[in-house]
Each structure stands twice: as C-alpha cells, then as structure tokens.
Amino acid sequence: MAANEQAPTTRKPFDRVADSPISWIVLGAALGLGLGVSSWAPLLVGIGLVAWGGNMLRHDPKQKLEDLRVLGGPAFLLGWVAGFVIRGVTGID
C-alpha cells in the first residue's frame, strides 16, 4: 500500500446513520413540526447541536472530514426551521 493511500475501513450501521445529513434533517424537522417555536425548542436544538458536535469529535481527527458528515449540523438547523414553518403555515396546534 502506498504512503498516501488509506486502508479501507468498515463503517458500522450507526455511523452510516449518524454521519448522514438526511438523518439530521429528519430529526430537525420532527423537532420543528412537534414543538414549533416554543420555550423548549432552543434547549432541544442546543442539545441536538451538541450531539452533532459529539458525533464530529468521536471520529479520528486525522480522517478527512470534507464529506457529508460535516453537513449534519446545518441540516439539523435547516430541518428545524422548515419544520416550524410548515407547522405555522398548516396551522398545526
């Protein structure tokens, strides 16, 4: 194996889900649809962003992070905003 090649790694099913921005946007949208903009929402959004940061920290810092796992945090916020906009437009109470 050449010096610049990386050894192939096997990813666990949890890693595939946790690193996917789709799972983070679904989680954010569920939070936005469920709570909207309430007094609990900032706390839960903060917890979600800390969870995303923890997901980033559990990876080896020597790995290249310029892939989809970096999009998890912004996707979570986008999903939350889209969720509470949909909640407001449809009048869900």
pLDDT of 73 > 70? The answer is yes
Q: Residue 46 falls within a domain, yes or no? A: yes
Q: Residue 80 falls within a domain, yes or no? A: yes
The residue range of the domain holding 28 is 17-58+69-90
- Could you give the number of structural domains in the chain? 1
Q: How far apart are CA 24 and CA 27, in angstroms?
A: 5
Confidence band of 9 (pLDDT split at 50, 70, 90): low
Q: Which residues of 64-80 are buried (b: 16+ CB within 10 A; e: fewer)?
A: eeeeebebbbebbbbbb
pLDDT of 80 > 60? The answer is yes
Confidence band of 6 (pLDDT split at 50, 70, 90): low
